[in-house]
Amino acid sequence: GGTAMAAVRDVEIDPEGTFKYILVRLQRPGGEERREIVRGTKAAEFHNHIFEKVNPEMEKLGYECKCLGGGKIDHNSKDKKIRVFGLSTGYGKADHSVTVEILKKVYTDYEITWSDDKK
């Protein structure tokens, strides 16, 4: 049912700083139910480190994961600003506009912007 998917948080990112992120599509094998989630952390040296952590977690819940690309997030919690930019060498550039829409669901009082800038 929709309950398990609802239990998966839309966004899990570090509370502060600049770090890599990926946009991941979750799908039930053979099902119509799908959604995108955002994951990012300073702990990840490479984008695939994030995916390698998310993928087994989601498989346990019965989802197939597909990385739709990556980039970077600059999270300024003091000024309540998030900037999405850059790309992943391995996965390509995520659609940052999609990422921003997902971030807005969680960080409702933030100013959230994106660009295709590398830095």
Predicted TM-score (pTM) of this structure: 0.94
Give the pLDDT of residue 2.
53
On whether the CB atoms of residues 35 and 5 are closer than 8 A, the answer is: yes
* Active-site residue set: 47
Give the pLDDT of residue 93.
97
- Residue 94 falls within a domain, yes or no? yes
Residue-number span of the structural domain to which 48 is assigned: 11-115
The strands making up 111-114's β-sheet, listed across from edge to edge, are 11-13, 34-41, 17-27, 64-76, 81-85, 111-114
Token couple for 11: 């966004």
Give the number of other CB atoms < 10 A from CB of residue 34: 13
Give the pLDDT of residue 1.
47
Give the pLDDT of residue 13.
98
Q: Which residues are annotated as a binding site for substrate?
A: 20
Give the pLDDT of residue 33.
84
- Residue 2 falls within a domain, yes or no? no
What's the CATH code of the domain at 48? Answer: 3.50.20.20
Low-confidence ranges of the chain (pLDDT < 70): 1-5
On whether the CB atoms of residues 5 and 33 are closer than 8 A, the answer is: yes
Give the number of other CB atoms < 10 A from CB of residue 16: 12
Q: Which residues are annotated as a binding site?
A: 20
